[in-house]
Amino acid sequence: MRAKRVLVTGASKGIGKAICERLQADGYQVIGVARTRPEQLPPGAEFHALDLTDNAAISAFLAGPVMAQPFYGLVNNVGMVPSGDLQQVQHDEIYRAVQLNIEVAIRFTQALAPGMAAAGTGRVLNIASRAALGKQSRTVYSMTKAGMIGMTRTWALELAAQGVTVNAIAPGPIATDFFASVNDANDTRTQSLLAGIPLGRAGRPEEVAHAAAYFMDERCGFVTGQTHYVCGGLTIGAA
């Protein structure tokens, strides 16, 4: 039996890389896309170097041979994290973040969802963020990740009749190079954030990947439109 195909954006490092590794280990045929090729790929995985800030390159990819066969799953993971207080927000930063964090997810979902619908089954997973609930210095990032949660709920309603589920994962602080690059360890706000995690530590990429594996599983066909926080209890601790 042919392995189910799953496409993952932002697949070269951090959470995206961990999701690729987990899904490939679970028996899916993983096709990863990102600007930079990872140093190592899971055995059997496929990777395509693609600048996801380049709309023309995306169009060419989505019209290319990779799309000749339908996909069972899609993980919309790629994203950027603009940082700065309200008065520091730059207009061009808004549009770049919307293009990468929102538009790319829309375009890939538009391209892959018809094949899922034709098959009568499919999984779309959007990687949002706990920051959608609010985080200082994250005006633009929070806006885009809240938008992703809203799209998740809307797409879940639109695609349910075709047997396609759409869910979101909203990670809290996850120990990746990406997190470290936008959260200064010496900043009191970063220290306060980490100190507020009830489990007493940052998460690991493989813990987010485990949640992705749950939503991707064919036995998870009665769960849709949901946002799952992988945050060490931070969201309830803050409440």
CA distance 162 to 147: 23
Query: How do 29-34 and 5-9 pair as beta strands?
Result: parallel
Sign, CA torsion 37/42/48/50: negative
Q: Rounded distance, CA 141 to CA 143, Å?
A: 5
Coil, strand or helix at 127: strand
Could you tell me the pTM of the whole model? 0.94
pLDDT band at 1 (very low <50, low <70, confident <90, very high): low
pLDDT at 238: 62
Sketch out the chain's domains with CATH numbers. Answer: 5-238 (3.40.50.720)
Q: Please tell me which residue in 28, 72, 141, 229 is annotated as part of the active site.
A: 141
User: Is 72 known to be catalytic?
Assistant: no
Inter-residue contact 13 to 77 (CB < 8 Å): no
Q: Which amino acid, residue 218?
A: E
Q: What is the pLDDT of residues 199-211, one digit of tens each?
A: 999 999 999 999 9
Condensed to tens digits (0 to 9), the pLDDT of residues 75-127 reads 999 999 998 999 999 999 999 999 999 999 999 999 999 999 999 999 999 99
List the beta bridge partners of residue 76. 126
CA-based R_g, the chain, Å: 17
